[in-house]
Amino acid sequence: MHNKTLAELSLGLQAKTYSSVELTQLFLDRINQHQQLNAYITVTPELAMAQAKVADQRLANGTADLLTGIPIAQKDIFCTQDVMTTCGSKMLANFSAPYNATVVDKFNQAGAIMLGKLNMDEFAMGSSNETSYFGAVRNPWNLNSVPGGSSGGSAAAVSARLAACATGTDTGGSIRQPAALCGITGLKPTYGRVSRYGMIAYASSLDQGGPMTRNAEDAAIVLQTMAGFDEKDSTSVDVPVPDYRAGLNKSLAGLKIGLPKEFFGEGLDENVAATLATAFDEYRRLGAEIIDITMPNLKLAIPAYYVIAPAECSANLSRFDGVRYGYRCENPVDLTDLYTRSRGEGFGKEVKRRILMGTYALSTGYYDAYYLKAQKIRRLISEDFKTALASVDVIMGPVTPSTAFGIGEKIDDPIAMYLSDIYTIAINLAGVPAMSIPAGFVAGMPVGLQLIGDYFSEDRLLNIAHQYQQVTDWHNFIPTGFE
């Protein structure tokens, strides 16, 4: 059963082929069996089984939703009432939230089963899931390789069939990059489409939650539950949520696909480029037209992002001071010592690096030179997307420069690590939706294809992804040892 898609599992539950209790126990057993991935920080078997029994009652009395009885897992950045929410950090290693994130409440209302909380880079800062206080997550396609980050635990769990689907968050590529490296489908919605209430903030103007699933149909089902206006989130946008499954089977005849030349230059692995070329050929056969475009300001995305995101991180993480909740140092001699040692001992190296970068960029005399200039560049990047999407229906390109790299390979080289997100960061700066879908393999490791659309065009992206997945089977491949 674990090899079935979410949509197939839902049909089986509705048909009473198996119960939610049986399905939930199956996934709990798999989690226990495959602990070598280190995908989960917290597993919640008692809660999961209690929820499964309630789900079976809903299935029996005909009040079930598509997600009712489906075992899912939450990235450990979404607050869950009375269940640990650590953000992969020592700072929150003892923290249980007194409330649920809006996203968690939505899944609960749909009757989904929470298996546990998934490992992640500390406070979502990382591209390899190696910065977690709870240890690195391993890629199920090669246990010596990274799964990507920060939603690496989510990607590994879905890829290895340790959950039917998972939530992720994307600040600069943290849904799409791990989805690509682990061979699954990951969707970053338009900024404001999914509520950020109860999602612990890294960079408030960039963070966005989204689904990580086997395929586009499953992503449509999960996004249907996650999306929608939330009055508790000031960044939430009050735009109607369409039926994401309704348009999955629309023809792609006449679709205009733009390929930015900036995505296909130096730095892109030639084998990844060749794999993507095959995917573009498949889209041509589906009736699409491929158009070369240029987006000249994309090259500025990395420097702009690594001013804006650390600046917002510096402000957001100032709340973790050892006073109200979270880690507190032992025997502080005074308040300054309490602040200094609690933060020094509670945060990891990468988090400290970004706090320092952000604080510097916001400091007197540097705000105009760095932060303000970065925001101006952000506007130019947004205009690039606006111009491009006026002439094409969707932009396509790589998600990552290469397939998954080895654990430890880039951890001591921050610049090399940051360049892992070179094709994803601009999307967050612009706030447009994008997704990664499996497009093939290079030397046995997955390659992702990135689809980028206009604001609130998630339904169109899902349609474009689904049609490709009807004529390819890359999304059905399973890592050896997890069949």
Q: How far is CA 220 from CA 139, 211, 289, in A?
A: 25, 9, 25
Find out whether 467 and 460 touch, Cβ atoms under 8 Å.
Answer: no
Catalytic residues: 75, 150, 174
Q: How far is CA 315 from CA 174, 308, 382, in A?
A: 20, 11, 24
